[in-house]
Structure 1
Amino acid sequence: MKYFNFLFVILLVTLWACDEDTPESTSIKGDSGITYDESFSRWENLKLKNGTSYVYSVTSESWTGYRSVTTLTVTDGTVSQRSYQAFSMNNPENEEVVYEEWTETGDSLGSHTAGVPLFTIDDLYETCVKDYLVVDESNNSLYFDTDASGVISLCGYTPDNCADDCYVGINIQAFSWVKDE
């Protein structure tokens, strides 16, 4: 009987240690006050209400004045269009100039190397929790935030002691629903 109790305790400890597949960092709250888990739950509910067609834009910026915007259109849960614009600063006028621009649809989807991958918001939630919120918090600053409705808008990290352009992750500038036809 003592042997059985010992095995039972070992089993409980093992199950408790392996209880969660998601990192503790899913409890990180941004300015919105919403955690990753809460946001993902809201996202699932919003899809039931609004459908799976939407448009979102992801930005990337550098201290050098470089900036890019990738806009993805998702129709019925599948990326149907990807547009990209890259900007630089034209000095001494200090005005932003477009130096690359394109749009992909149909068979051309994914044909350019610039821009963010052909990800749906579902893909971004998965990437967030599997690639960004799992980095070592003792060597990185983790970030997670949502828009007003609770949809992911920021997820990533910055390595400690990094000087410039160190953010690794997702930065959604705009999101809007498109009514399914």
Structure 2
Amino acid sequence: MEALKTFGFSDEECNNLIGHSSNKDKRLAMTIVNNSEWRRLLNLKKKAKRTEAHTQFMLEYLMAGVIRSGLRVRNVPALFVEIQKFLEKLCQIAKRCARDWMILIVETAKEVVVVLNQEMLELEEKLRCMNKLEEAKKKLEEINAELHDFEDYWMKKKTDKLKKDTRWYTQEKAYLYLISNYYQE
């Protein structure tokens, strides 16, 4: 309360902001509560979209047979042939583990999306009960517009990463092909 007074709020305004007002007019406190609920709904929707997009891209990586850059293992040439064979086997094991890890991430993300959707439905129902139908409809349209912009941004970011990873992966394959030909000679 003291912090609010330093910004020039009167005692009555401080009580309204905090929600402890004994006056009839509590619109300001209600607005703050409603905005936080709307912001929470928007954040839940963003999190759900992000998780769905992440799941979709992981599935695309799995279908293409490409391991994500954070899970990728590179094989470097070794001095002795025996060590090189051991490293190749170790890399194959690591790649299988990475694919299993990606599958686990996808399954977990699907469960998270279900939980987030349930939370969103509960919160939307709560907000519909709290506000007039017209206000709720207007806010939901604003949230959906902001969500659409966010989804466009996220998809662009992920496709750029996918292009970069695909480019890197093809270069690595070419590099490994050159190394394998060198050792065969």
Q: TM-score range by the shorter chain?
A: under 0.3
Bigger Cα Rg: 2
- Give the structure with the larger helix fraction: 2
- Give the structure with the larger strand fraction: 1
